[in-house]
Structure 1
Amino acid sequence: MIFDARDLIAFPGGANYSDTVLAGIHFNLTTLEHWNYTLYSNGTLSNGSKCMIVSEAYAPKLLYPNGTFINATSCYSPVNPIGLRAKIGIGFAVAFGFLLMGCIMALRKHGRLFLPAERRFRPIGRRWQWYWGILTATAAVISLFMNIDVDRYYLPELPIVLTSFFWYLLQMCTMALVWEAIRHWGSWQERQYIDPNPFILSQDDRRAMFEFFIPLVFYLFLWLNFFMIVPRSWGKLEKQRDDDQTTRYAAPTATGIRPKIAAFFLLASWLITVGSLRHSIKNYMPRNRGIVNRVIGFVGATPPRFVLLLIFSLAMIAYQALCAWEFEWSVLKVKGDRAAIYLGGYTPSLLILIVQIFYGWVSPNEDRELIRQRRQRGVETDRDLGLVKKPAWWRRLNPDYVAGGESMRDRIARNVNEIGGGRATTRGIDASLANRATEVEAQQNQGLEMNSLARTASNATARSGYGAGSESYGGKSDRRRTERTLAVAAGMLFPSETSTPGVAERRRELMLDGPPPPYNPTGENQGRGRSRQGGGGRPSSNERSTSTGTTGSLSGAPQQVKSMLDI
């Protein structure tokens, strides 16, 4: 604790020369002088290492010969009531707290992916502005809540340092937020520009190189601002216990050469942000000819959100520069101007967050917007080609319609599972052939001993072209049903007497009707075939054999074609 000699006062007299009275309590003056205690005009008692309040309410009750006080209150205790600076700070802190929740909600909305991540446009690129928004709101809340202890501490100490430190972080995070918002807007314009044709812009031209290096330059100046502000001695900022101490120690620290240079670095970051905006408008917006038209086009193409962000951020930088030259209006001063502190120090960042969160609330997710644009381009292309999109009810009636969001791969897998499909194995093929041979042999042995119901079913099956071995399987084995289905299909495609016994049986049944009717060139008997019981008529169309086998034709008599109906 350092005070000027003009702040020292003499100990008041007591009962004798070795006695003094402080706040109505007698203390041994010899002991106080032995331990180098000094009384100051602000009501404190200190010996350089210890400081105690000696006012009426907080004066110590007893002093031991070893220099120890009983019931003493430290000078750096929050004993004062909340002042105007703390009350306004609480209101601002609550507002920044709500904005912090808004940034988190906006991050969740705009950070979600609905399209595959692209290497050219990484998801973290659009999230950075919300990350910086969260850091901005957090730094503001800490700095503003520290203002409570700035007012309540009897003598300034650590709270004013924490308030000032997080206020400088608030300025840097706000500038980074503005930069990321404008940079990402340019990236979003590029993404929309190349989405119809990914090869319309090269990735190694002058434009791409500019977009690669300009973020590095911006963050270089931002971190230079950080290194000018943060790595320095903050202890002298606490020495604002009286006016003379404030003038000698605190003011030179707050208005030194480092804060002045830091303000210029922050202004350079702002100019780089404007340059990035100009670059994005030049490359991804309609171009204008002439200097005047370019200026008009630049102003017209700039979103209103960025106009507000750039104005508020410039006001923030101007106030930081003002604090570097005028300590009276600075946030770093304990008894500084309250209106200047909150209007210049916190209001620009508050307004920037409000604008950003409002934008995040009204604007759609970029992936969803890109999907909408692709769908719109598809509709326009279909209109140009003359294609008409089917209504929703048509897709449900279409056999190829996939319901419930089921993919084609899932649908094929479901169909394979229903018919009992699986990986073919040698054991399965051998078992299928053995079962088929057993069934064929059993059907050949039955012959004419089948009952009338089985004969009727067999005849109907034979007339329909499936053969005798194609009775429908009524069991529960999917594997057996598959094997029977394959056997029927093979019999239909490759009929023979050995593999399909139904051919010989069908030939025998057809010969029971007798020979075909005689040829009549006048066509009187066409369509009037004799009945089956008559023995001489031609079978009707639904009774003729549809077999394409050739085995019987090689062993039997040549067939005489009477008319085209016999073929």
Structure 2
Amino acid sequence: MDDADWLYSDDGRQRFNASILKEFNYTIYPNDTISNFSTCVLAFGGYVPTVISNGSWYNSTGCDTPVRPIRTRGAIGVATAIIFAALLVMSLVCLSKHGKSFLPAEKRFRLVGRRWPWYWCIITSTVGLISGFCAVDVDRVWVLGTSAIFHFIFYMVSLPCCLAAIWEMSRNWGSFEERKGIDEDFFRYRQDDLRSKIEFYEPLIFYLFNFLSFFLSILRNWNTIARSNANVITDARFQASSILSFLAWMVIVVAHLIARHYYQPQKFPWKIPATILLILIRIAFNIGSAFEYSFSQLRWQATPAYIYCLGFLPVILVILVIIYSGLREPNEDQELLRFRNARNAILDQEMLAIKSPEKRKSTGKPRTIRTRRESRASAHDYWGSEEPVQKA
């Protein structure tokens, strides 16, 4: 066979039967891989595959097999995964604390309502944990494949999940303020006023924007994204998804301001503005990377500092703030019982203050038992005794 019957890779050090490769649509690429878009093998150095007449390979190594040493992205990914694992455990602890009920169930304030923030914290920590561990193989594989796809998918999922955690935390705070007011005065808040109508439509609008953001950025073909295709990474779907995330963030801000206007809390809930400002960093990063390819976090060539400092770090800080406040704050039912006991103590003091003047007005001395006995009328002796007999 002459040279026309052979195709070479690895600077001519490996050769393959040209007719078999052409028959099964195999192509040798400049990065020393052989692929027909369904099968991809390495063909350089110690990786010497052999193709047989039916188009299959033996002694081959897949292109998505980790063949390189772990690098910066993978090391930081493992550290990030460990942090998310710790946040997952603490979220479960907070769920156990705040998910318990100490009062009879109320139709207006369901127990699951105050559990949802911790459900979303658990989901966010889980997807961050998976993405961090999948980052180990992003720099180790020769051609990006399943590990890179999972790493980027779960990274993108962390934003809508974190936004949902912030939303549920803010909504639950407003619900508890309403519950405290109704517990003190049942007729304080009506159920047919403008406030109740706004609170009915707020979650619908938020979850609409949040789900559309998830749908446009996650539910799509990720094979071309894993290859860092510039036209796909900065297409209209990613751009619209980033803008919808910002609109969902705006709904949280407006809902929080409306709740503060109606309930006028005595204490300022610092955890809500803190989480809102932190997640804004991630949203701004998503918008910038959706419009500028060189800034995109979906490029495998991108600096790991982008995806970890501007992508994962705000999410970690948000979950940490929520968990910290959850560990410090008491259970809602227990807090409500404390308010009731305080009100009852005030009422008891007022009743004692009313009764004490009445006691001071009565100046008569109480009669002794002997005096009361002597004052009783004499009883007639029906047995013939001459002296009157005192009643016993």
If the TM-score is normalised by the length of the shorter chain, which range does it land in? Answer: 0.7 to 0.9
Mapped partners of 1:211, 1:156: distance in 2: 45
Among 25, 29, 34, the residue aligned to 1:45: 34
Task: Confirm whether residue 81 of structure 1 aligns to residue 69 of structure 2.
Answer: yes
Partners in 2 of 1:142 and 1:156 — Cα distance?
17
1:59 is the counterpart of 2:59: no
SS at match of 1:151: coil
What is residue 287 of structure 2 aligned with on the other side? 321
Q: Which has the higher contact order (CA 8 A, sep 6+)?
A: 2
Please say if residues 329 and 341 of structure 1, whose CA atoms lie closer than 8 Å, have aligned partners that are also in contact. no
How many pairs are equivalent? 362
Aligned partners of 1:78, 1:97: CA distance in 2, in Å? 24
Q: Secondary structure of 1:195's match?
A: helix
Distance 1:140 1:73 in 2: 30
Alignment of 1:293-308 (within 5 A): 302-308=268-274
**Residue 172 of structure 1, CA deviation:** 0.3
Q: How does 1:72-151 map to 2 (within 5 A)?
A: 72-151=60-139
Contact 2:14–2:43 (8 Å) recurs in 1: no
Matching of residues 41-440 of structure 1 within 5 Å: 41-60=30-49, 62-238=50-226, 240=227, 246=228, 250-285=229-264, 302-386=268-352
Deviation of 1:159 after TM superposition, in Å, equals 2.3
TM-score w.r.t. the length of structure 1 is 0.60
Instruction: Give the direction of change, closer, same or farther, for the CA distance of 1:560–1:109 in structure 2 (3 Å limit).
Output: same
Please tell me whether the aligned partners of residues 67 and 140 of structure 2 are also in contact (alpha carbons under 8 angstroms): yes
Distance 2:313 2:390 in 1: 101
The DSSP-based 3-state class of the residue aligned with 2:116 is: helix
**Cα offset, 1:163, TM superposition:** 2.0
Deviation of 1:18 after TM superposition, in Å, equals 4.7
- What residue identity is the alignment partner of 1:269? A
Residues 385 and 71 of structure 1, relative CA distance in 2, 3 Å threshold: same
Contact 1:256 1:324 in 2 (8 A): yes
Q: Which residue of 1 aligns with 2:374?
A: none
C-alpha displacement of 1:22: 5.7
Matches within 5 A, 1:538-553: none
- In 1, the alpha carbon distance for the partners of 2:37 and 2:344 equals 80
In structure 1, give the amino acid aligned to 2:31. Answer: N
CA contact (8 A) 1:328 1:337 kept: no
| Residue identity opposite 1:310 in structure 2 | I
Counterparts of 1:16 and 1:314, CA distance in 2 = 60
| DSSP-derived class of the 2:139 partner | helix
| Residues 343-384 of structure 1: CA deviation (Å, up to 9, x unaligned) | 111111000011111111111111111111211222222222
The alpha-carbon distance between structure 1 residues 86 and 124, as it changes in their structure 2 partners (threshold 3 A), is same
Tell me the distance in 2 between the aligned counterparts of 1:19 and 1:253: 35
**Does structure 2 conserve the Cα–Cα contact (< 8 Å) formed by 1:281 and 1:301?**
no
Instruction: Report the Cα distance in structure 2 between the residues aligned to 1:206 and 1:34, rounded to whole angstroms.
Output: 71
Contact 2:14 2:44 in 1 (8 A): no
1:173 Cα shift? 0.6
Distance 1:111 1:179 in 2: 18
- Compared with structure 1, are the counterparts of its residues 22 and 42 closer, same or farther at alpha carbon in structure 2 (3 Å cutoff)? closer
Q: In the TM superposition, what whole-angstrom CA distance separates every residue of 1:519-541 from its partner, at most 9, and x where no partner exists?
A: xxxxxxxxxxxxxxxxxxxxxxx
1:333 is paired with a residue whose SS is coil
Q: Map 1:27-38 onto structure 2 (within 5 A).
A: 27-29=16-18, 31-32=20-21, 35-38=24-27
Distance (Å, rounded) in 2 between the aligned partners of 1:88 and 1:164: 15
Partner amino acid for 1:264?
I
Question: What is the distance in 1 between the residues matched to 2:244 and 2:24?
Answer: 49
Whole-angstrom CA distance in 2 between matches of 1:149 and 1:124: 38
Deviations 1:415-455 (A, max 9, x none): xxxxxxxxxxxxxxxxxxxxxxxxxxxxxxxxxxxxxxxxx
Secondary structure, counterpart of 2:28 in structure 1: strand
Q: Decide whether aligned partners of structure 1 residues 44 and 283 sit closer, same or farther in structure 2, where only a CA change above 3 A counts.
A: same
Q: Deviation of residue 33 (structure 1)?
A: 5.1
Distance 1:153 1:359 in 2: 41
Residues 113, 151 of structure 1: alpha-carbon distance in 2 compared, 3 angstrom cutoff: same
CA distance in 2, matches of 1:34, 1:120: 69
Identify the range of structure 1 (311-320 vs 74-83) with the bigger mean alpha-carbon deviation. 74-83
CA offset at residue 564 of structure 1? 2.9
For 1:314 and 1:352, locate their aligned partners in 2 and report how far apart those are by CA, in whole Å. Answer: 10
| Partner SS for 1:364 | coil
Residue type matched to 1:260 in 2?
Q
Q: Matched residues in 2 for 1:21 and 1:272: separation? A: 59
Instruction: Calculate the TM-score normalised by the size of structure 2.
Output: 0.85
**Do 1:330 and 1:337's aligned partners in 2 also have CA atoms closer than 8 Å?**
no
Which protein is bigger by CA-based radius of gyration?
Answer: 1
Unaligned 5+ segments in structure 2 are 355-381
Q: Shift in Å at residue 210 of structure 1?
A: 1.6
User: What are the superposed Cα offsets for residues 235-285 of structure 1, whole Å, 9 maximum, x if unpaired?
Assistant: 3213x2xxxxx4xxx222121111111222111111111111112211221
Q: 2-side partners of 1:206 and 1:307: how far apart? A: 24
Over residues 52-76 of structure 1, what are the superposed CA-to-partner deviations in whole Å (9 max), with x where a residue is unaligned? 211112112x443444433111222
Higher mean alpha-carbon deviation, 41-50 vs 303-312, is at 41-50
Tell me, in whole angstroms, the C-alpha distance in 2 between the residues paired with 1:377 and 1:387.
15
RMSD of aligned Cα (Å): 2.5
Do the aligned partners of 1:160 and 1:332 also contact (CA within 8 Å) in 2? no
- Tell me, which stretches of 5 or more residues in structure 1 are unaligned? 1-13, 241-245, 287-299, 389-557
- Which amino acid is the alignment partner of residue 389 of structure 2? L
